[in-house]
Amino acid sequence: MAKGQAKFIEYLFTTLLSVVFLGIVSLMVYNFYTNALKAELKDSLKQLAIQVGDSVVKIYEKSKLSNAQPSNNTNILLDELKLSLPATVSNRNYRIKFISSTPMWVSIKNITIAGQNVTWTINPSGAIIQAETTEEPKVSIDQYLPNVDVGVQGQCQNGQNGVLKYYRSNINGTIKDIIVLGGANSIIDVTSIS
């Protein structure tokens, strides 16, 4: 009986080690696959964000110099540009969002110089194009557009409704330009929160 039990324990121990070894190898392969997929998604999203950024700069440069003036409390469409966007990025669904610089997008710096506390604010101009996956693995890329001094807003998902529109609005005599991505039904310009 002792010899039979020893063989059974040896068999059980070998089986257990094999299962643990296969589990570790499977986990390592899965981690490698996930990291490689995330790297591929980051590269693809970065290229997509740069492509959209180039299109924003193109429509901005073309429309900014327009002399068109809308009448009071109206807006006019100065230009429209259809984007050629893929349906998926590395076989994953994605979304592109515009984040506009507003007066609330402020950096406050506090430093001490010669024993005195000095504070100043920086109001950056520009916008951010955010490209992100909408399914696992979640990956997000921000592409900054520092020299675009018009508002941006909107989003598109999986390349659908990937249209840039450049509007000029006149709100009670204040002329503002805005670039909209997607099919927005209204233009929003947040300047303060009370």
pLDDT at res. 170: 87
Token pair recorded at residue 108: 């406050």
State the burial class of residue 15 (Cβ atoms within 10 Å of its Cβ: 0-12, 13-18, 19+): exposed
Token pair recorded at residue 9: 């324990």
Q: Where are the beta strands (DSSP E) in the chain?
A: 74-82, 94-100, 107-113, 116-122, 127-133, 140-145, 151-157, 163-171, 174-181
pLDDT at res. 193: 41
pLDDT at res. 192: 42
Indicate whether 150 pLDDT > 60: yes
Q: Could you tell me if 80 and 163 are in contact, meaning their C-beta atoms sit under 8 angstroms apart?
A: yes
pTM, to two decimals:
0.73
Token pair recorded at residue 80: 């429209």
